[in-house]
Amino acid sequence: MSNHKELTQIYLDANATTPVLPEAASAAMAAMQTLFGNPSSSHITGLKAKDLMEQTRRRAQTLLGTGKGKLIFTSGATEGIQTSILSALIAAKPLVDAAPLSADKSYCVLYGATEHKAIPESLKHWLSVLDIKAEVIAIPVDEYGILDHEFISQHAANALMICTMAVNNETGVFQDLQLLEQTIRTANPSIFWMVDCVQALGKTQLDLQTTTIDYAPFSGHKLYAPKGIGFVYIRDSAPFTPFIAGGGQESGLRSGTENLPGMAALNVIFDMLLRSEGSAFSNTQTLHRFRQQIVTTLTECFPRIVFNNSFEHSVATTINFAVPSFSSKEIMDLFDAANIRVSSGSACSSKVTRSFVLDAMGLPAWQSESAIRMSFGPAMTQADVDTACARIKMASQALTQSCMVLAHNKISDKTQLEGLLQLRSGASCTWVYADSKSKQALIIDPLPELQQRLDTLLQCQQLTPIAIIDTHGHADHVSGREVLANRYLAEQDSDMLGWPYSSKTVSYAGAELEAISLGDLQLIKVPTPGHTSDSISLMLCSTNGEQPSTKYAFCGDTILMGSLGRTNFDSSSSVALFNSLKLLNRTLKADTLICASHDYNNEFTTTLATELSRNTLLKAVLQDQLSQTDFVKRKAELDSHLNDQTGSEIMCGAYIGSCDKSAILEYDASSLAKAIANNAGVKVIDIREPHEYVLTRSKDPNQNVPLTRLVQFIHDHQDQKDQPWVLVCRSGSRSMVAAQAMHRLGFAKISHLKGGYALSH
């Protein structure tokens, strides 16, 4: 199946890997077809293979200025790192055994805090294997990512080895190797020094023989050669232990049959790097011009963009940035829909998390969490840059479809917002309900990180908020309510949570409660103290019939998915929570959708019926199986697990229910096509956001239900739980999460497209 307009791929993730240069690919193919001999063989075919291998080595030696140092071909940078660390630590072990330090001192190994994770993990591994008692210490960096030389001076005397990076893979920040060498050798002339040069090749000049660098690993696939080939430089005076023993290839330095096709490709790359003319690689001045053109385009398209790397201190081929109010996942999905490939932080980890590199540089948490790395290689052309900039503009224009930016360009057919919208920052949720008929809106639990987005949304949709309300005083963040209220509701008098004093009184669930109107709906305030003393639940109800019918229950942190709100804050009361839970049980129907303030497990929403099936404590309360006194005891025990909670996010409830990770039926493109052909009732739902959808859709009948509107979709289809729905997204990750959430709520025939559109065409 396909709903893509075919756009050429714009690849801007070269720091993760590069495509193989056509000339390099041709050389590798020729080596496989005509120079396939084993370089260790003595016949003519083997001798020709040997000659190619040695020609490649000579060119690498010339390019890097290795002098008398060894240059050994490896499977890649990781092997080079292991070879270097193992060689150094084996040589250092006798020193440690023969001369232990005093009780108040210990040996250490040093590495830069922004190093690739392969470095500290390898250091720890080999120290353990070799039984060397030495502490692994990270060298701090400043706000630019430059190593702390004073720290090195203080610790290098007792260090067995120091590992640094020539160019950082996330930020492109380069170290002044000459100045760094002076600091290291002044502090400890005999320390073993490894420099990770993976990102430096082709971007900076290296003359290794003029330095005291002992080890320098390199990787071919970072510079247009195939994966599986690399090399390591070893200074002539540095100790060496073979990492791989066996047949004695590479003069006994690295055993195993040589990767001749990989070497043939490297040979072409080295030749181009050594050439002054006729090379596929641009010079440094041109690369800086390319970066500036991309940076200018990004700034035009995202005026509030923040660049995380200092261009003065980084190579021209890496741009690291964050856009306020946008998560890294949102930007990646947007760019991917426009067929632009970027990454969030290091591509060596598939999970999108904070960048430890930017954390080490002391950048604010939001920049670390929202970081996007855009990188290109030295074979970038002006035509490539022009196309990339045009596509970035196209992607930013598509955001008007979702009202994530205001329409000021050709894409302005915004998706009309009607009903419930769920926005998130981390695990925290903001809820927006829009009534397109009255042009009114309601905002519940506005997050400060989403202020700009909410403001843009209201303007774009031309909505007037009737109220901006918090369900309680939040302990884990400052509310974003005040800023928005001052802009849109300056004339409205309200309490500390934003509930308007001008509310009316209505009968609801046997009580007289305060309410306000939203179009044809009513929002009713139900006091539900417990998590905090000021906690309220907000019931959005239709007014058809004598009694209001609840569509959504915004219960804050009173009932969370699989949990109950914690009650160990100063303003908490487990007794009050006990009574509030019973009140909600009398108030809500079993299938009323509960919209919480936090969603720690990507479950979107829940119901009392769902919670009763898995939350034993809640079930005991609602079915009168537990006294108030016993509840207080059990709740205190539950909350005690949260007392030592660390990190930037305070958990507002301990998870006590089972998170349904049921095996969801998965289709691939072929099996889905057959299912649709055999069952006319199968309905495919595209859950990408409107800005993604508009970039890729053609005449495809698939219905677009953005993930931010999933709760609205669930509400609207409560009576169609036996309908065979198939959810589809870009990669299959969001569709799986959404399918599991719907399955938990009783959608028995939910399924998804494994691998998403990325693998379907």
Q: What is the DSSP string of 386-401?
A: HHHHHHHHHHHHHGGG
pLDDT average, residue stretch 337-353: 67
Percent of the chain topping pLDDT 90: 74
Would the pLDDT of 549 be above 70? yes
Terminal C-alpha separation, the chain: 7
CATH annotation of 71-259: 3.40.640.10
**pLDDT (0 to 100) of residue 350:** 33
What's the gap between Cα 169 and its chain centre? 16
State yes or no: pLDDT of 129 exceeds 90: yes
Phi, psi of 707 (to 5 degrees): -60, -30
3-state class of 367 per DSSP? helix
User: Does 581 score more than 70 pLDDT?
Assistant: yes
**pLDDT for the residue 276:** 77
Q: What pLDDT is recorded for position 657?
A: 59
Looking at the chain, the whole-number percentage of residues with pLDDT higher than 70 is 93
List of E strands, 487-637: 504-508, 511-518, 521-527, 536-542, 549-556, 559-560, 563-564, 593-596
Q: Using the predicted structure, report yes or no on whether residue 5 has a pLDDT greater than 60.
A: no
Q: What pLDDT sits at residue 699?
A: 47
Residue 660 binned pLDDT confidence (cut-offs 50, 70, 90): low
Give the pLDDT band of residue 247 (cuts 50, 70, 90). confident
Lowest-confidence segment of 70-84, 284-298, 576-590, 643-657 by average pLDDT: 643-657
Buried b (16+ CB within 10 A) or exposed e, 423-447: bbbbbbbbbbbbbeeeebbbbbbbb
Mean local confidence (pLDDT), 245-266 = 85
650 falls in which pLDDT band (50, 70, 90)?
Answer: low
Averaged confidence pLDDT in the chain: 90
- What amino acid is encoded at 594 in this protein? I
Q: What is the mean pLDDT of residues 576-602?
A: 95
Q: Is pLDDT of 2 > 70?
A: no
Q: Which of 301, 348, 460, 555 is catalytic?
A: 348
Which residue type is seen at 413?
D
pLDDT at 290 over 70: yes
Q: Report the C-alpha gap between 455 and 405 in whole angstroms.
A: 10
**Residue scoring higher pLDDT (3 or 684):** 684
Query: Is the pLDDT assigned to residue 105 strictly greater than 80?
Result: no
**pLDDT on residue 412:** 61
Indicate the range of 173-182, 384-393, 408-417, 723-732 predicted with least confidence.
408-417
Other C-beta atoms closer than 10 Å to the C-beta of 716 total 13
Alpha-carbon dihedral sign for residues 455, 461, 467, 473 = negative
Q: Is the pLDDT higher at 246 or at 422?
A: 422
Decide if pLDDT at 613 tops 70. Answer: yes
303 contacts: CB under 8 Å, gap ≥ 6: none
Q: Would the pLDDT of 700 be above 80? A: no
For residue 412 the two structure tokens come to 């302005």
Give the model confidence (pLDDT) of 196-221 as tens digits. Answer: 999 999 999 999 999 999 999 999 99
Q: Does 478 or 660 have the greater pLDDT score?
A: 478
Beta bridge partners of 727: 685, 752
Question: Is 403 assigned a catalytic role?
Answer: no
**pLDDT value of residue 99:** 80
- 90 pLDDT above the threshold of 60: yes
Name the superfamily (CATH) of residues 282-402.
Answer: Aspartate Aminotransferase, domain 1 (3.90.1150.10)
Q: Once rounded to an integer, what is the mean pLDDT over residues 252-257?
A: 80
Mean pLDDT within 348-376: 83
Q: Which of 39-43, 130-134, 576-580, 629-633 has the lowest mean pLDDT?
A: 39-43
Half-sphere exposure of 575 (CA within 13 A, CB side): 2
pLDDT band at 226; cut points 50, 70, 90 = very high
Q: Answer yes or no: same fold for 282-402 and 665-759.
A: no
Q: pLDDT tens across 493-535, in order? A: 999 999 999 999 999 888 999 999 999 999 999 999 999 999 9
Over residues 228-240, mean pLDDT:
96
Residue 1 has pLDDT above 60, yes or no: no
CATH superfamily of 419-640: Ribonuclease Z/Hydroxyacylglutathione hydrolase-like (3.60.15.10)
647 or 669, greater pLDDT: 669
Q: Measure the CA–CA gap between 634 and 309, rounded to whole angstroms.
A: 49
Q: Give the mean model confidence (pLDDT) for residues 700-718.
A: 88
Residue 651 pLDDT greater than 90, yes or no:
no
- Where do the structural domains in the chain lie, given as residue ranges? 71-259, 282-402, 419-640, 665-759
- Global pTM value: 0.88
Q: How far, in Å, CA of 206 to CA of 760, rounded? A: 44
More confident residue, 404 or 553: 553
Pair type for strands 419-425 and 372-375: unpaired
- 254-281: average pLDDT: 90
Contact status, residue 133 vs residue 158, Cβ threshold 8 Å: no
CATH 3.40.250.10, domain 665-759, yes or no: yes
